[in-house]
Amino acid sequence: MGYGLLAGQTLLTPALIAAPPSASAQCGYLLFTAFACWHFRKPISHLIILSACAVLLISAWVHDMPWEAYLLVPMTLAAGAGVSRARSGFNDAERAANVDKLTGALTPRGFEKMLRTELARANSDGRTTALIFLDLDHFKSINDRYGHSGGDEVLRHVVTALRGVLREKDHVARIGGDEFLVFLQVANDPARQESVQSSLVGAIETLPWGVSTSAGGIVIPPR
């Protein structure tokens, strides 16, 4: 949809320059600009705003329009910047809901959204996938020994260790204080789930804090 809005803005540009534009055409151009800024991130949204302001300014100057026409330039600048900031805030909130701030792993909400999408694709492609659950053992003793800041550091290293074992398109989620879920995008080889599970446990247990973990997994055939 963003490209459609950008196309509409582009198509209106020669009309604004070729002949004195109507108020509705100018307002429509402003709206196309504002809505296009919602669909594109910086710096593209900033380029859209600046180009729109330049077009409105040139149009008003070429057609010797009254001073009121020039007011559309700061209006477009304010509207585009406001929409761009709103979109940035929305993206930040969406990321906070889907990505764990401490570890960078998915949250339960983010994992659920990812899982729906990935399972639909797997069904379509006829792929087998897998889920692996990992629970750190006696994590409270680590917090007691190193403090909560030390425990947080351990959790961050656990996620890094898990990602070091996984393929780029696999996913890790932190679903509890010390509980993690791993999604394997491809597990057509029946042995892959068990092999990866063993590697994940080994990666955690080689960390310098003496962390151990319990793990279990399931294979998910298509459909």
Give buried/exposed letters for 23-50 (b at 16+ CB in 10 A, else e). Answer: eeebebbbebbbbbbbbbeeeebeebbe
The rounded distance, in Å, linking the Cα atoms of 216 and 133 is: 5
Whether the predicted pLDDT of 6 surpasses 70: no
pLDDT tens digit sequence for 119-138: 999 999 999 999 999 999 98
pLDDT tens digit sequence for 45-66: 788 888 888 888 888 888 888 8
CB-based contacts of 107, cutoff 8 Å, min separation 6 = 97, 98, 99, 100, 173, 174, 175
Angle at 10 between CA 6 and CA 15, to 5 degrees: 145
Whether the predicted pLDDT of 93 surpasses 70: no
Mean pLDDT of 83-100: 74
The rounded distance, in Å, linking the Cα atoms of 94 and 206 is: 34
Whether the predicted pLDDT of 90 surpasses 70: no
Query: Which DSSP category does 135 fall into?
Result: E
Q: Please, what sign has the CA dihedral across residues 54, 56, 59, 60?
A: negative
Q: Coil, helix or strand for 125?
A: helix
